[in-house]
Amino acid sequence: MKSMCFLNRTVLFALTMMVSVTWAIHVDAARKDCGDLPNNPPKPATKVAKDDPNKNNDYDTAVDEDTRPGVTYLAMAHGSTPKPNKCGVKAKNPDAEWTGWGGPVGDENVSIGEGVGTRNEIIIGGTYFVRGVGTHSVAKLVYDLTGDQYKKFEGYVGMDDEKDPAECNVGGSSDFTFKIDGKQVFKSPVLAGTDKGKNVLALKVEFDIPANAKELEITISDGGDGACGDHAAIGDAKLLTAQALAVEPIDKLPTIWGKIKGNY
């Protein structure tokens, strides 16, 4: 009987250690695995009580990194494909297609800035995103979906706050189209940086990924008015497996198109 109790304790300890190690490995798969910021941001992210649409990169809301097991972030430079590494899954199409201006894009979780050496952290409509993809219209990103059994995509699209709203009238404008294996699954309206002098919130994007899907294509257009100031971004852009969907996220930011922050 004593031997059985000892065996049960031993098995329980081993299982506990396995879970702990698995969790530790997951926690290590974080933004830090994508490298540090590539430069000292010329327009640093600034936490304020109430963001001002006329100021670059101030924010009053933040979406932290999703640390649930089974979350894979989209990457542009330091990830891997088709199987993701700790940074995430990397776009597989030619890097010349990743941005219409300001390239090459060699860094993660930063905006397009004013080109290489001027990247900023990603802020859309007064919300700071720890993880995300920053680019400039016209752009295309293609991600291989065969590296894991992904069930869903989630993210937020909009115009990066690093662009002065006075430039190009509204701080740029773009629209975002998502396709799986050539079939459109989501298309945003044209999103501007500001609307009548007020910040436009990030638009939530979420859709299911069918079984045996092969690739996700994201196209960022110029909104029909040219590419002036189109500093587009996808905040918290991630692929989720069944493991991730079994756990509620810590951060929730339900935003819809057309909603303007009510605190002005």
% of the chain at pLDDT higher than 90: 77
Q: How confident is the model at residue 257 (pLDDT cuts 50, 70, 90)?
A: very low
Distances (CA, A) of 66 to 22, 109, 110, 247, 256: 16, 14, 17, 11, 20
Question: How many structural domains comprise the chain?
Answer: 1
Q: Domain range spanning residue 195?
A: 2-245
pLDDT reported for residue 166:
84
Q: Residue 159 falls within a domain, yes or no?
A: yes
Q: Residue 251 falls within a domain, yes or no?
A: no
Q: Residue 256 falls within a domain, yes or no?
A: no
Global pTM reads 0.85
Q: Residue 262 falls within a domain, yes or no?
A: no
Does residue 139 carry a pLDDT above 90?
yes
Q: Residue 254 falls within a domain, yes or no?
A: no
pLDDT reported for residue 251:
64
Give the phi and the psi of residue 20 in degrees, each rounded to 5: -65, -45
CATH number at residue 240: 2.60.120.1060
Tokens of 76: 């542009």
The whole-angstrom separation of Cα 25 and Cα 82 is 20
Tokens of 113: 């800035």
Tokens of 52: 């001002």
- pLDDT, tens digit (0-9, with 9 covering 90-100), for 65-119: 999 999 999 999 999 999 999 999 999 999 999 999 999 999 999 999 999 999 9
- pLDDT, tens digit (0-9, with 9 covering 90-100), for 192-230: 999 988 999 999 999 999 999 999 999 999 999 999 999
% of the chain at pLDDT higher than 70: 83
Q: Residue 167 falls within a domain, yes or no?
A: yes
The pLDDT of 134-140, averaged and rounded, is: 98
pLDDT reported for residue 248:
82
Widest CA span of the chain, in angstroms?
A: 79
The whole-angstrom separation of Cα 19 and Cα 201 is 38
Mean pLDDT of the chain: 86
